[in-house]
Amino acid sequence: MDTAVSASPLRIALVGVPNCGKTALFNRLTGSRQKVANYPGVTVERREGERAANDGSELRILDLPGTYSLSPTTLDEAITRDVLLGRVADAPAPGLIVCVVDAVHLPIGLRLALEVKRLGLPMVLALNRMDVARRRGVKINVERLAAELGVAVLPTVAVQRGGADALIEAIQPGRWAAQRNVTVPAWQETTAEDAEQTQSDLKGVLEAVGYSAPVENPWFGRVDRLLLHPLGGLMVLAVVMFLMFQAVFSWAEAPMDLIEGGMAAVGEWLRGSMSEGPLRSLLVDGVIAGAGAVLVFLPQIIILFFFILALEDSGYLPRAAYLLDRLMGSVGLSGRAFIPLLSSFACAIPGIMAARTIPSWRDRLTTIMVAPLMTCSARLPVYALLIAAFIPDESVGVFNLQGLVMFGLYAAGILSALLVAWVMKLFASGTLYSPLMLELPDFQWPNSGNLLLGLWERVKIFLSRVGGIILALTIILWFLSSYPAPPPDATGPAIQYSFAGQLGAALEYVFAPIGFNWQISIALVPGLAAREVAVSALGTVYAMSAAGDDVAGQLEPLIAQTWSLATACSLLVWYIFAPQCLSTLAVVKRETNSWRYPLIMAGYLFALAYLASFITYRVVSAWA
Amino acid sequence: MLQQVLVTFLVLAAFAFSAWRLMPARRRLLTLLALDRWAAGHPALSAWRERWLKPRIIRAGGVGCDGCAANGSHAPRSR
C-alpha cells in the first residue's frame, strides 16, 4: 500500500512509548493544555494542534496515543499505527515524525524508534526528560546516537519553558521541504525475525552511544517496598484516601461560608433594589437560589482535585493500580481497568473512553458498564449538601464525621462497581484474565505548574458548567415552576399549580416508596442532564415554594428541617447508583457502536438505585 | 412590562442553549455544517463564518471530550 504524504501544511506526528512525555511536548509546541499525568495511558485518541512556523506557514501537530510497537494489541495503539500509515480517512500520513524517547529509560523508547524509522518517513528524535537523565547519571552520546540512527537527535525537557527550543528549530518546514513528497512504504505485521533483528540493532546502538542505566535512588526503593506491600500498601492507600476526604470538608468550610454569604448578600440586594415582578423572581429564586447553590461547592472541588492531581503527578497512582490488581482480577475486571476507573472519578466520559486501552472486548465492556459507579465530581455537590445538612460536624477520634461519611460514599461506589463486575463475570464464561502490564513511573515531586494548570482547568470547567448548562436549566425550571399562575382561589404555594408542580405530583407516586417528596422528584429530572443540577433545582423549587423572602441561599438548613433522616439517606444512596447523565449514555453508545449497552446500563443503574434507596429508606425509617 | 419582556427573552435563550448543549454531538455537527452551507451563499457573512463558525465546526468534528458538555474548554489553541 503506497499512500501519498500531504504537501501542505506540514503535519508532524508525535510518537513514543506511553508516559515518555508526548503530551507535555505537544502542549509545549502548540500552547495547548491537554491533560498530562505521571502514568501511562492518558492519551487514547489522536489530538491535533497547530503552531505558526518561523516563515509564517502553519504546522499541524498530532499527539498520538503511546505504543510500544507498531503491531498493536489495543484500540489506542491501532490509532497510532493507522495515522502513521495514512490509513485514517481524514488524516493523511504525517510529513514528519517526532519520535519522543524518555532519556531516562532509553532502551524502551529506542526500540520503538528503530521500528518507526523503518517506515522511511522523515523523522527526528526528541530525547525527552534530559534534566532527570543528567541528574540520575544517565550517559548518552547524543552525536553518536544521531549518527547511528541517521536522524537528528534533539535533547528536550518538555515541562520546562524553552525546553523544546532546539526541537522547534528542527521542525521548521523549510528543512523538510525536499522530503515532503515521500510515500509511506508498504507495511507488514512484525514477525519474530523482525523482533529479533530490532533487539539486535537496539543492543548495537546502546553500546555505540555508551548508554549507562540511571542510578536508582535508594529511598525510592524503600518507599516502593512499603507502597507495594500487600498489606502495608493497602493501609497507606486507605490513609491517603481518608486524608483526602477529611481535607475536602475541613479545609473548605471558610471559603464555602464566604461564597454562601456573598450569594445571600447579592440576593438581598436584588430583592431590595428591584421592584417585585417576574425578573426579580427569576434572579433571586432562580439564578441565586439555584445556580448559586451549586457555586458554593467550588472550594470542595478544588481541594479534591488538588489531591487527585498531586497523586497523579507524583507517580503514586500506578502503584495503587498494582496493589488493587489482584482484587480487581478476582471480580473479573482486567488489570488495565484501573486507569479508566480512576479517570471516572473526575467524569465517567474520559473513563469510558480510556477503556480503549483494554484489548479484550468483554473486559472493555465490563469496565464501561461499571465506570459510572465511580463517584464523579458532579455528584460531590449533592453529597456535600446532604452531608452538611444531616451529618453533625463532630469528631470521631481524630477524624471528622462528615469526612468519614463522604469517604464511605466513595467507597460504596467502588464496592458496588466491583460487585457489578463480579455479577457480569458470572454471565461471561470462558474469558481469560488479562494481567496488568504497567510500567511504574519514577517518583517525583508534583510539578507546581502542572498542578496549578490542572486546578485552573477544573475551575474553568466547573464555572463554565455553572454559568452554562446549569444556569440555563435553572432558568427553565424557574419558568416551569412559575407558570401557569395559580387560580385566584388558590390556597397552597403557587408552584403547586405550575407545570413543575404537576410533574412533581405525578412523579411522587413513583418515588414516594423510597421517601422522595415532590420537590426531590422534580429535581431528579434536570439532574439527568448533569447531576449537580439536582442541587440548583432543589434550590429553585424550595425558593419558589416559600411564602416568605428568606429562602435564597439557605437550602441546607431548609432541607435539614423539612426532610427526615431516612429521606436524606435514601437520596444519598440513590446518587451512588443514580442513572447517569445523558452525555455518558451518548458516549457509551458511541464507544460500543450500539444502543443496546447504554439501554442496559440505564436500566440496571435505575433498578439498583431504586432498590438500594427503597431498602435504605425502610431500614432507616424503622431504626430512627 | 419591561420585566416580562426580559424574562421572555432569557427563558427562550435558556431553552435554545439547553437544546444546543444537550443535542447529540453528531446532530450538532450536522446542524453546523448546514449553517455553513447556507452562510457560504452569503458573502456578507464570510468574516463571521471564518471567525465564529469554522472553529465550532472543527471542535464539533472532534471526538471524545470535545463532544462532552463537561469538557468544552479543551480545544488546542494556536500561538
The answer to whether position A48 is within a domain reads yes
The Cα–Cα gap between A125 and A123 comes to 7
Neighbouring C-beta atoms of residue A238, cutoff 10 Å: 12
Hey, of A35, A50, A345, A469, which one would you mutate to test binding to chain B, going by the most B CBs within 10 A of its CB? A469
pLDDT given at position A430: 58
The answer to whether position A361 is within a domain reads no
The Cα–Cα gap between A16 and A83 comes to 13
CB contact under 8 A, B64 and A469: no
pLDDT given at position A30: 83
> Strand, coil or helix: what is A533?
helix
> Strand, coil or helix: what is A97?
strand
The answer to whether position A619 is within a domain reads no
The answer to whether position A77 is within a domain reads yes
- Go through chain A and tell me how many residues it has: 624
pLDDT bucket at A603, cuts 50 / 70 / 90: very high
The Cα–Cα gap between A440 and A36 comes to 16
Closest Cβ opposite residue A475 in set B14, B64, B78:
B14
> Strand, coil or helix: what is B73?
coil
Of A35-39, A148-152, A295-299, B70-74, highest mean pLDDT: A148-152
CB contact under 8 A, A282 and B69: no
User: Is some CB atom of chain B closer than 8 A to the CB atom of A89?
Assistant: no
Average pLDDT of the residues in A275-303? 86
pLDDT given at position A1: 40
pLDDT bucket at A409, cuts 50 / 70 / 90: very high
pLDDT given at position A145: 92
pLDDT bucket at A42, cuts 50 / 70 / 90: low
Angle at CA of residue A549, ends A545 and A554, nearest 5°: 75
User: Is some CB atom of chain B closer than 8 A to the CB atom of A137?
Assistant: no
The Cα–Cα gap between A297 and A382 comes to 9
CB contact under 8 A, A464 and B24: no
Q: Kindly tell me if the per-residue pLDDT of A46 is higher than 70.
A: no
SS (H, E, C) A34-84: CCCCCCCCCCCCCEEEEEECCCCCEEEEEECCCCCCCCCCCHHHHHHHHHH
Summarised one tens digit per residue, pLDDT across range A140-166 is 999 999 999 999 999 999 888 888 888
Let me know: does A537 contact A477? Beta carbons within 8 Å. yes
CB contact under 8 A, B11 and A479: yes
Angle at CA of residue A174, ends A172 and A176, nearest 5°: 85
ipTM: 0.78
Let me know: does A199 contact A158? Beta carbons within 8 Å. no
Q: Which amino acid is at A211?
A: Y
Q: Which DSSP string corresponds to A307-361?
A: HHHHHHHHT-HHHHHHHHHHHHHHTT--GGGHHHHHHTTT-HHHHHHHGGG--SH
Q: To the nearest whole number, what is the mean pLDDT of chain A?
A: 83
A161-to-A62, A158, A427 alpha-carbon distances in Å: 20, 8, 52
Lookup: cell for B33: 455544517
SS (H, E, C) A219-257: HHHHHHHHHCCCCHHHHHHHHHHHHHHHHHHHCCHHHHH
Residue A433 or residue A413, greater confidence: A413
Summarised one tens digit per residue, pLDDT across range B46-79 is 888 888 888 788 777 654 444 343 443 333 333 3
The answer to whether position A53 is within a domain reads yes
pLDDT bucket at A368, cuts 50 / 70 / 90: very high
Lookup: cell for A270: 436584588
Shortest CA distance from B68: residue in chain A: A583
The answer to whether position A143 is within a domain reads yes
pLDDT given at position B20: 87
User: Which residues of A are less than 8 Å from B21 in CB distance?
Assistant: 468-469, 472
CB contact under 8 A, A475 and B79: no
Let me know: does A602 contact A579? Beta carbons within 8 Å. yes
A399 has which bridge partners? A396
Backbone phi, psi, residue B59, to 5°: -70, -40
CB contact under 8 A, A471 and B63: no
Q: What is the domain extent for residue A76?
A: 3-208
The Cα–Cα gap between A606 and A603 comes to 5
What residues contact residue A551 under an 8 Å CB cut-off, 6+ apart? Answer: A285, A289, A542, A543, A558
Peptide bond into A484 cis (omega under 30): yes
CB contact under 8 A, A464 and B76: no
A69-to-A45, A151, A189, A273, B20 alpha-carbon distances in Å: 16, 19, 10, 67, 41
Percent of chain A surpassing pLDDT 90? 20
What residues contact residue B56 under an 8 Å CB cut-off, 6+ apart? Answer: B32
**DSSP percent split of chain B into helix, strand, coil, nearest 5:** 80, 0, 20
pLDDT given at position B5: 92
Summarised one tens digit per residue, pLDDT across range A544-577 is 776 554 544 578 888 888 899 999 999 999 999 8
CATH number, domain of A104, equals 3.40.50.300
Q: Kindly tell me if the per-residue pLDDT of A38 is higher than 60.
A: no
pLDDT bucket at B13, cuts 50 / 70 / 90: very high
The answer to whether position A57 is within a domain reads yes
* A526 CB-contact burial (10 Å; exposed 0-12 / middle 13-18 / buried 19+): buried
> Strand, coil or helix: what is A366?
helix
Neighbouring C-beta atoms of residue A189, cutoff 10 Å: 8
pLDDT bucket at A102, cuts 50 / 70 / 90: very high
pLDDT given at position A585: 84
Q: Kindly tell me if the per-residue pLDDT of A10 is higher than 50.
A: yes
A208-212, A414-418, A438-442, A458-462: least confidently modelled range: A438-442
The Cα–Cα gap between A403 and A241 comes to 10
pTM, two decimal places: 0.73
Angle at CA of residue A511, ends A376 and A614, nearest 5°: 75
User: Is some CB atom of chain B closer than 8 A to the CB atom of A103?
Assistant: no
The Cα–Cα gap between A157 and A163 comes to 4
Sort strands A10-16 and A96-102 into parallel, antiparallel or unpaired: parallel
pLDDT given at position B76: 36
Nearest to A278 by CA among A494, A577, A438, A562: A494
The DSSP letter of residue A296 is: T
Nearest to A363 by CA among A419, A306, A432, A316: A432
Q: How many structural domains are present in chain A?
A: 1
Angle at CA of residue A561, ends A557 and A562, nearest 5°: 120
Cell 521500528 belongs to residue: A115
Angle at CA of residue A67, ends B58 and A168, nearest 5°: 60
pLDDT bucket at A99, cuts 50 / 70 / 90: very high
pLDDT given at position B74: 37
pLDDT bucket at A615, cuts 50 / 70 / 90: very high
The DSSP letter of residue A95 is: S
The Cα–Cα gap between A74 and A117 comes to 22
The Cα–Cα gap between A411 and A307 comes to 17
Q: Kindly tell me if the per-residue pLDDT of A250 is higher than 50.
A: yes
